[in-house]
């Protein structure tokens, strides 16, 4: 969107794309959390259940904002991939979270450009949770948290922050 003028209509359109990604995340986390098998995935399976609940909250927040902008919230999720391999499922989730994070960073800037500061704040709160999801998935895959050009939290910081 760099250099492109943002309008309220365009913002609503982009928020509908975000909403379709949230639906995708809900479906993926509902299914993956139940079908992940194996002792090494027990911890992440529990985390995926928690993600599912949080993605539903995000979808509700976005729907409210799209309605506020005078548009109809979408009813169509982005497609969800399936695999019988645990690592594939975690990989799909991680890729989706990465894309989601990049989008919400743009969305915050766009909300602010339109003077929608309360909306920007709500998306910022969603973004914090998406970054937690990203860290959970990268950790389960034994990988470093992808650097998307913004903040990356060292695992030690997260371990202190999260009580389980």
Of residues 94 and 115, the one with the C-beta less far from Fe ion? 94
**Closest separation between CB of residue 32 and Fe ion, Å?**
12
**Closest separation between CB of residue 64 and Fe ion, Å?**
14
**Closest separation between CB of residue 97 and Fe ion, Å?**
5
Whether the CA torsion 156, 162, 50, 112 is positive or negative: it is: negative
Of residues 114 and 129, the one with the C-beta less far from Fe ion? 129
How many CB atoms sit inside 10 A of residue 98's CB?
A: 17
Of residues 58 and 107, the one with the C-beta less far from Fe ion? 58
In sequence order, what DSSP letters do the residues of 123-151 get, joined into one string? HHHHHHHHHHHHHHHHHHTT-PPP--SS-
**Closest separation between CB of residue 29 and Fe ion, Å?**
8
Q: How far apart are CA 3 and CA 100, in angstroms?
A: 21
Of residues 11 and 94, the one with the C-beta less far from Fe ion? 94
Helix residue ranges, H only, the chain: 8-35, 42-68, 86-113, 117-140, 155-161
**Closest separation between CB of residue 99 and Fe ion, Å?**
10
Contact footprint for Fe ion (CB under 5 A): 22, 55, 58, 130, 133
Q: How far apart are CA 72 and CA 64, in angstroms?
A: 10
Of residues 116 and 130, the one with the C-beta less far from Fe ion? 130
């Amino acid at each position: 969107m760099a250099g492109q003028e943002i309008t309220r209509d365009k913002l609503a359109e982009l928020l509908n794309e975000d909403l379709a990604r949230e639906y995708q995340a809900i479906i993926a986390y509902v299914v993956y959390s139940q079908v992940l098998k194996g002792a090494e995935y027990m911890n992440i399976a529990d985390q995926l259940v928690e993600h599912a609940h949080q993605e539903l909250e995000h979808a509700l927040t976005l729907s409210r904002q799209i309605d506020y902008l005078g548009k109809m919230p979408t009813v169509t999720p982005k497609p969800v991939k399936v695999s019988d391999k645990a690592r594939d499922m975690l990989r799909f989730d991680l890729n989706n979270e990465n894309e989601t994070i990049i989008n919400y960073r743009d969305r915050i800037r766009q909300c602010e450009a339109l003077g929608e500061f309360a909306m920007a704040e709500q998306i910022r709160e969603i973004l914090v949770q998406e970054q937690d999801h990203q860290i959970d998935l990268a950790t389960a895959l034994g990988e470093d948290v992808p650097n998307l050009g913004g903040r990356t939290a060292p695992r030690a910081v997260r371990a202190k922050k999260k009580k389980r």
